[in-house]
Amino acid sequence: MSESLLILPAQEIDPQKWDDCITQSSNSLIYAKYEYLTTLCDQWSGLIIGNYKAVIPLPWRKKMGLRYLYAPPFIQQLGMFGDQELVPFTKIIECISRFIKFGDLFWNYQNTPLCLGINTLQKNNLIIYLNKTYPEIQSGYSKDLIHNLQKATKFSLSYSSKLILSEAICLYQSAYQQRLSNISKQDFINFQKLCSMLVEKNQCFTRSIIDALTNEMSSVALLLKDANRIYLILNATTEKGRSMAANHFLIDQILQEFNEEDLIFDFEGSEMEGIRSFYENFNPECQPYFYWRHNQLSPFLKWILKNIFRKR
Assign a CATH topology to domain 126-286.
Aminopeptidase (3.40.630)
- Residues 254, 257: Cα–Cα separation, whole Å: 5
pLDDT at 119 over 90: no
pLDDT at 231 over 90: yes
pLDDT at 270 over 80: no
312 vs 282 pLDDT, higher one: 282
- Characterise 31 by phi-psi region: left (phi > 0), alpha (psi -120 to 50), beta (else): alpha
Query: Three-state secondary structure along 194-221?
Result: HHHHHHHCCCEEEEEEEECCCCEEEEEE
Question: Which residues are CB-neighbours of 105 under 8 A, at least 6 positions away?
Answer: 58, 69, 71, 78, 79, 291, 292, 294
- Per-residue pLDDT tens digits for 40-96: 999 999 999 999 999 999 999 988 788 999 999 999 999 999 999 888 888 999 999
Per the DSSP assignment, residues forming a β-bridge with 126 are 286
Measured over the CA atoms of residue 293, residue 297, residue 302 and residue 305, the dihedral's sign is negative
Q: Are 270 and 307 in contact (CB under 8 A)?
A: no
The pLDDT of residue 3 is: 85
232 vs 88 pLDDT, higher one: 232
pLDDT at 220 over 60: yes
Q: What are the backbone angles phi and psi of residue 43, rounded to the nearest 5°?
A: -150, 150
Q: Which CATH architecture has domain 5-123+289-305?
A: 3-Layer(aba) Sandwich (3.40)
- Return the ∠ at Cα 248 (arms to 242 and 253), rounded to 5°: 135
Question: Which residues are CB-neighbours of 132 under 8 A, at least 6 positions away?
Answer: 259, 260
Global pTM exceeds 0.85: yes
Q: What is the mean pLDDT of the chain?
A: 91
Q: Break the chain into its structural domains and give their ranges.
A: 5-123+289-305, 126-286
Q: What are the backbone angles phi and psi of residue 293, rounded to the nearest 5°?
A: -95, 100
- Per-residue pLDDT tens digits for 39-54: 999 999 999 999 999 9
Answer yes or no: same fold for 5-123+289-305 and 126-286.
yes
